[in-house]
Amino acid sequence: MLIEGRNAVREALKSDMTINKVIFDKMLENRKDDVVKSAFEKKVKVEFLPKSVLDKKSKTSHHQGYIAEVVDFEYSSVEKILQVAKQKNEQNFIVILDGIEDPHNFGAIIRSCECAGVHGIIIGKNRCAQVNETVIKTSTGAIANMPIARVSNIKDAIEELKENGVWVYGAEIGGENIYKQKLDRNIAVVIGSEGSGIRPVVKSHCDGIITLPLKGNVNSLNASVACGIVIFEILRQREG
């Protein structure tokens, strides 16, 4: 798998990802560049090649002169995500994605979650975008710091969270106003697809539904935008 772009490669080098090789634009060979320096310090195999070679190798066409070859993304588990909060002595803060199929939306959600201090993301093996080069690129390196669990059954994952004292809320129209709800607790929020929202079978396992009040004529938001607003409202409440 390839990680492309300056920020994404920088974050990958900082993380525990297994990096087989980093390829830089030959123009960077004699320049003082912190990403190049980091690669040498980590003793990763480094190559400097012409931009035309990187262009052919790139999967996203936005490599910026930086490409890292890494092993396939290693998914986490629900149990490990729960452990993150314990290790930080914090209340759980988890995002569950039900039917997010656009890799750009997935990558943007990862980026927002990392910025908001979310402990991990849970996705399904089916009907959901999986981690690929586009997701990694769109996350701008945030994925290196975000545990992602891939589960066979989202409703079973929800039940596991609830057994561990986590309140699970679906974010969708028709629920309670998010700004009137107490969300500074062990919490997981479910974000559904833009087209059909949260599936009924998943919604039935939620403890409640929270809704962003919309004042315009359009009655829906992009999934990644909605997720960002929801998790930062949770963060606002957690910060007091």
Q: With 80 as the cut, is the pLDDT of residue 218 above it? A: no
201 exposed, middle or buried (CB, 10 Å; 0-12, 13-18, 19+)? exposed
Q: What is the mean pLDDT of the chain?
A: 93
Helix 103-116, helix 223-239: angle, nearest 10: 10
Q: With 80 as the cut, is the pLDDT of residue 220 above it? A: no
Residue type, position 98, single letter: D
- Write out pLDDT tens, residues 123-136: 999 888 999 888 98
Q: With 90 as the cut, is the pLDDT of residue 219 above it? A: no
pLDDT for 14: 87
pTM, full prediction: 0.83
Task: Clarify whether residues 139 and 169 are in a common domain.
Answer: yes
Supply the range of the domain harboring residue 62: 2-70
CATH number at residue 48: 3.30.1330.30
- Write out pLDDT tens, residues 95-122: 999 999 999 999 999 999 999 999 999 9
pLDDT for 68: 93
Q: With 90 as the cut, is the pLDDT of residue 232 above it? A: yes
CATH number at residue 121: 3.40.1280.10
pLDDT for 137: 84
Task: Clarify whether residues 87 and 29 are in a common domain.
Answer: no
pLDDT for 31: 82
Q: Which residue has the tokens 């039940």?
A: 159
**Rg of the chain over CA atoms, in angstroms?**
19
Task: Clarify whether residues 113 and 38 are in a common domain.
Answer: no
Among the candidates 15, 49, 70, a domain finishes at 70
